[in-house]
Amino acid sequence: MAVGARRCARAIIEYEGTAFAGSQYQPNARTVQGELERALNRLTGERVRVRFAGRTDAGVHATGQVAAFCLPSPPPGGDGVRWRELQRRLNAVLPPDLAVRALRSAPPGFEPRRDALARAYRYRIRMNGARVPVDRHRTLEIDESLDVGAMRLAAAQLLGERDFGAFGSDAHGRTVRELREVRITRRGDLIEIRVVANAFLRRMVRSIVAVLLQVGRGRLDAQAVAGFLGAGRRALHGQAAPARGLVLERVIYSNQQGGRGGTRRTTSAQ
């Protein structure tokens, strides 16, 4: 490789979002991007900019966020060795609430946001007053019991390509998204809501969860949920579920973008 040649990387990162003001850089605030760039700059001595597959708000967590960045010069060693060593060194200097789970070369022209086919989020709710202290920063704990059957009926009305302006906002005014899955599972007092879409509006998942919570509590009829779509106003006056229950779990790419060849099948960021 020529001297000074740049090498670009794709990373899967995990973070506990409680102490972050969000994923994207903000002046005078602690962010995931700020911490990751600071670590890269410290190790390389160069200014390295990081791009993410999606933004997460303050308090939202991630187990499968995808980041991309380019180095001014490649790390020494063979391709696999250099990225494993950089991953080890990054995790040694990153704060304990942020880690690089995987690191490898990025395909030419890889853009983590633009190239993603879908994103998957999971929201966790613990009901009936149950408390699990080690989970308190990543689970919404409520005293009520929820009607999961009614929540599933409501969720089914949201599937498909729709105008989701009632559930979120977009800086460019585009509010049509394709919601591919809203799966609600229960294990004892724990409820998990898995939401998959081609892309999400800001606060969209938490706004959907807020509506499902109202349905589960019996305060909103399950059949009324479809009426929020295309209504021209925010559902529940813009109410959103607390950030702590939400995790960006996975970002999905084509096999070609994932570096395994082929274009029709998909591979997750994990």
Residues marked active site are found at 57
| 142 contacts: CB under 8 Å, gap ≥ 6 | 125, 126, 127, 129, 213
Kindly tell me the burial class for residue 216, based on how many C-beta atoms sit within 10 Å of its own C-beta (0-12, 13-18, 19 or more): buried
- Can you state the percent helix, strand and coil of the chain, rounding each to 5? 30, 30, 40
Q: How far apart are CA 25 and CA 39, in angstroms?
A: 14
The answer to whether the Cα torsion of 23, 26, 30, 33 is positive or negative is positive
Are 269 and 250 in contact by the 8 Å Cβ rule? The answer is yes
CA–CA gap between residue 31 and residue 68 (Å, rounded): 16
In 117-176, which ranges are continuous DSSP H helix? 148-156
